[in-house]
Amino acid sequence: MTEEIKKDKKKKVVKTVTKRGDKKPATKAGRIFRGPLFWIVFAIIAVSVFGQISGAGSAFTKVNTSQILDAIAQSEVKSATVIDKDQIIRVELKPGRTISGASQVEASYVVRQEPTIIDALSANPPLNGWNIEVPKTPLLVSFLLSLAPILIIGLLFFFMLSQSQGGNKVFSFGKSRAKLQSDEVPKTTFADVAGADEAISELHEIKDFLANSAKYAELGAKIPKGVLLYGPPGTGKTLLARAVAGEAGVPFYSISGSDFVEMFVGVGAARVRDLFNQAKANAPAIIFVDEIDAVGRQRGTGMGGGHDEREQTLNQLLVEMDGFEANGQVILIAATNRPDVLDPALLRPGRFDRQIAVDRPDLKGREAILQVHAKGKPVAKDLVLLEYARRTPGFTGADLANVLNEAALLAAREQKKEIGNHELDEAIDRVMAGPQRKSRLMSDSERLVTAYHEAGHALVAHALPHTDPVHKITIMPRGRALGYTMVLPDDDKYSTTRNQLLDQLAYSLGGRAAEELIFHDPTTGASNDIEKATALAKAMVTQYGMTEAIGAIKLGTDGSEPFMGRSYGHERDYSEKVASIIDAEVRKLIENAHQEAFDILVANRKTLDAMVLELLDRETINKDDIAIIFKRVKSWAERPAWTGSITRIPSDIPPVEVPARAKIAEVAEAKKPRTRKKSSE
């Protein structure tokens, strides 16, 4: 019984959608005929033609002025009429007299001929006399002529306004600009979305609720009124909404948040009302608002007060979502990458009942995304996408799509028939650091300095016990960098220990330490490394509570959003004495890391020189070759236990053993132990 109801409902909805979608787009000729300019030109032509027709219907024949004057002089005229305003003389000849075969003729004259004509008629008066007419303009015509400039200006304004509104829509600016997706639009399904399994399951339930509402109604469950998709840019929020449109089988209205805002006050609220009225008429329906932060920002904030037009639009949206009237089966799906700036009234249950985080994909998600985008592309058989998923931590779905597209472009540029490992490796480097700058020719001395700098980074990172493996070292200029060292984890990490952060500080300064050790004259190439190390050390002191002098205290607030009702700039909530302690602790962390990197390089000088020679020869070294060169690296000792206080003594009892659990075979096989010599020499 439920399936029959579902089929009937779906059939009814599809009929509604098709009815709206059957409207063909207007052709160029159709747009011209609907425009006001066409009708203005048409009216002018019509008036001109009417004037010509009315003039052609006159009973008088046009002749020369001299012929009429001769007829008057010979007393052949029965009657005459002088039309002063039109400068025309009309005469009726005596019976039996004709001019050019006509007895009723007319002729034109100029202003200075008036005395001559009057004298001729006075000297030889016609049989029935003569008359002078002065035509008067009708009152209506005079009124229209006086209003002609105003009408022309109004028509021009009408035309320009209609064009700015996208055609003949001057009186429909309050209408919603939402697009109703029809069957003609290519559909995206959940099968086309990867790396967001949790979001897909939540949205799949929304689709099932619309299709099988009776199943949920039996348990007293109410349909969610709103779903908010939030996450970093490029994670697939809009793609998920398209997938819902392809899977739902109900009318799907899509609109951008900026489409509600217009130059006229109150237009946004009118468009919100019209949008929800359309959705209610075709319920059950889904409304998708992309970038809802354009109209959903917090009200009453900012240095100069709130934006009245935007607040009116938001107020109307709040009323429509959970107002006095019930909306029936209308679900609002919104997407934003700024959930922190949205109004609290918009985020409460009853409006956005579900808030789904669409975060950056994990290792499995990145592999699935690469497989989705690799469909339809000729990929080499030896290409292992899992390895490239490991090399791209933090990449979004858009980044991974760009990687495969860049790889396809590189393969086409090199006249290859398929995408191989070289193209995909180069594509990842292009996305991360930019294209190679082959035109930049460095001197041998600069190449030597760059090689020692990058080798210093890599050697320190390899020697420390809590760092990730070194995947690549290159001295080829790319983007704004003269070279770079790629240190990436084999698996995704969601938290970082204190020892890992200290190791990051050390290998960040490994390049600067190598320049000091070898050349005794450091360069400016370490400026970015110093900036990152300083920011990390300051975060360890003020945010992470990883120093004994400060402890587990959060110091300072970021007030960089003055237009959100927050303070302008950085607000200090601590004293000058504490600020001095913070500076001292940051300096202490940096100095210790710098010295640690320097000592590692001193202990492994031969290996450092060997790596530099390989870099100068090959310019780029990958993970496997790096492991071979670093076989003789002396690993650094573990740091002592740290609890933040001498009164908190660490326990000698080890943690409990992790219970055995089933693991995915593919992931287990893909995990490779790091090649690192624990002790040598």
Residue of 454, 515, 596, 614 marked catalytic: 454
Place of tokens 């002396």: 634
Burial of 497 (0-12, 13-18, 19+ CB in 10 A): exposed
Element (H, E) at 549: none
Q: Kindly give, in sequence order, each residue whose CB lies less than 8 Å from that of residue 517, ignoring residues fewer than 6 positions away.
A: 456, 598, 601, 602, 605
Residue 638: active-site member = no
Burial 231-264 (b: 16+ CB within 10 A, else e): beebbbbbbbbbbbbbbbbbbbbbbbbebbbbee
Rounded to an integer, what distance in angstroms lies between the CA atom of residue 335 and that of residue 351? 14
Question: Strand 61-62's sheet: what is its strand order?
Answer: 61-62, 104-108, 88-93, 77-83, 130-133
Backbone angles phi, psi at 435, to 5 degrees: -75, 160
> Distance between CA 263 and CA 90 in Å, rounded?
61
Tell me the CB-side half-sphere exposure of residue 209, using CA atoms within 13 A. Answer: 24
Please check whether residue 511 is in contact with residue 457, taking contact to mean a CB–CB distance below 8 angstroms.
Answer: yes
Note whether 303 and 199 are within 8 A (CB). Answer: no
Q: How many residues does the chain have?
A: 681
**How many Cα neighbours within 13 Å face the side chain of 133?**
13
Whether residue 158 contacts residue 170, with contact meaning beta carbons closer than 8 Å, is answered with: yes
Asked whether the beta carbons of 96 and 146 are under 8 A apart, the reply is no
**Nearest in space to 78 (alpha carbons), one of 99, 100, 109:** 99
User: φ and ψ at 486, to 5 degrees?
Assistant: -100, 115
Structure tokens, 55 = 């003039």
Q: Which residues pair with 88 in a beta bridge?
A: 83, 108
Contact predicate 335/230, CB 8 Å: yes
DSSP letters spanning 247-305: HH-S-EEEEEGGGG--SSTTHHHHHHHHHHHHHHHT-SEEEEEESGGGT-BPTT-STT-
- Interaxial angle between packed helices 397-413 and 363-374, expressed in degrees from 0 to 180 and rounded to the nearest 10: 40
List for the chain the helix, strand, coil content (%; round to 5): 50, 10, 40
Place of tokens 């052949």: 76
Per-residue DSSP letter, 659? P
635: tokens are 């690993």
- The catalytic residues are 454
